[in-house]
Chains A and B, each alone.
Chain A
Amino acid sequence: MRLAAVGLVLAAALAIAAAAAAADRPSPADLEAELVCPTCKTTLDQSDAPVARRMKAYIRERIAAGASADEIKADLVAQFGRGVLAEPPKEGFDLLAWVLPLAGVVLGAVLVGALAWSWSRGREPPAGPVEAPLDAELERRVDEELARYDG
């Protein structure tokens, strides 16, 4: 009875370990969406080119051999170059590919904002008419006319 219980526990532990390993294993579909066929320049999952078919077979072989997604990608980059990665890595010089478009959008927004602000200031309605002061002679004559009118 005790032996059976130990066996059951061991079997459960093995099953859990196997499930965990399967969960860590990369999926061919995910990798095929992240890698590009070098001849047709589309992702492997979209390509039926001979080289793409060979690369898909290679991915499955490597997964079956227990390789991780990063290891498989590194192998393919070593063979075919960085062009097989659908997205550039987010490190080193390749980081520029991610940063520059964002920087361009931000810079463009700032530029458009600054221009809009500048133009809107230029279109402010002009202030009301400014009354020029009368010269002394004209003021004297106006005063005289008004005094005569009042009188």
Chain B
Amino acid sequence: MAGRAKLVAQGLAVAAVVALLGLLVWKIAFDRSGGAAAELERGESPAAPLFLLKRLDREGMLSLADLRGKGVVLNFWASWCVPCKDEAPLLEEAWQQHRRRGLVVIGVDAQDFEGDARRFMKRFGITYPVVYDGKGSTLGRYGITGFPETYFVDRQGNLVGERIAGGLDSERNRERFAAGIELALRRGAMHDAAASQGP
């Protein structure tokens, strides 16, 4: 009886070790802790993680999925973040300049007081759509490491270009920002083929 119990205990211990090893292998093979940013940095073009969040610029909700067919600049910010204040005019300028070409600038206000965010928008004259993610539910999926961060989503809903971590600056990363906008607005191959055939 004692021998059998010992055998069962040994079996359980071996099973636990095997399970832990399995978890380790799974973690290494399928680690997505860096979110979409990690895939983007590996040169991939992952689908932009979708969200459905409350709008701050007007009543209602905004779904990223509904913007399929448009180029999107996604800017993660918070009212307590200093560089976010500096870059706000640049984002507004980009929105005004490219919106007729099909660009949408979306501000994602995260880990912030909703009232503070509204005051920030008013103070800096933000007219582009802003959604509220106080709980930060989107941050992990995108791999946000700080505020602000900016991503570019093409018309097919994939992340393109380079993620810009830190404030947008007219000198430091102007070219990356402009390139990201162009990539986001670029028409897909299927769309181009259809357009060239004409009606």
Residues of chain A contacted by B81 (CB below 8 angstroms): 50
| Contacts of A34-52 to chain B: CB distance below 8 A | 38-39, 50-51
CB of A122 closer than 8 Å to a CB of B: yes
- Complex contact B116–A122 (CB within 8 A): no
Interface size of A by Cβ–Cβ distance < 8 Å? 18
Interface of B is mostly: loop
Residues of chain B contacted by A53 (CB below 8 angstroms): 80
- Complex contact B5–A39 (CB within 8 A): no
Residues of chain A contacted by B6 (CB below 8 angstroms): 118-119, 122
- Complex contact A51–B111 (CB within 8 A): yes
B2 contact from A50, A78, A83, A121, Cβ within 8 A: A121
- Complex contact B114–A79 (CB within 8 A): yes
Give the bracket for the number of chain B residues in contact with chain A: 10 to 19
In the bound complex, how far is the Cα of B112 from the Cα of A58, in angstroms? 12
Shortest A127–chain B CB gap in Å is 16
Residues of chain B contacted by A51 (CB below 8 angstroms): 78, 80, 111-112
- Complex contact A119–B2 (CB within 8 A): yes
Residue of B nearest to A54 (CB): B80
Shortest A72–chain B CB gap in Å is 13
In the bound complex, how far is the Cα of B111 from the Cα of A81, in angstroms? 9
Residue of A nearest to B78 (CB): A51
CB of B1 closer than 8 Å to a CB of A: yes
CB of A115 closer than 8 Å to a CB of B: yes
| Given known A51-B78, A54-B116, A80-B134, contact A118–B2 (CB-CB < 8 A) | yes
12 additional contacts (CB under 8 A) given A53-B80, A58-B113: A38-B111, A50-B80, A50-B82, A54-B116, A79-B134, A81-B136, A115-B9, A118-B2, A118-B5, A119-B5, A122-B2, A122-B5
By a beta-carbon cutoff of 8 Å, the part of chain A in contact with chain B is: 38-39, 50-51, 53-54, 58, 78-81, 83, 115, 118-119, 121-123
- Closest A-B pairs by Cβ, 6 of them: A122-B2, A81-B135, A50-B80, A118-B5, A38-B111, A79-B134
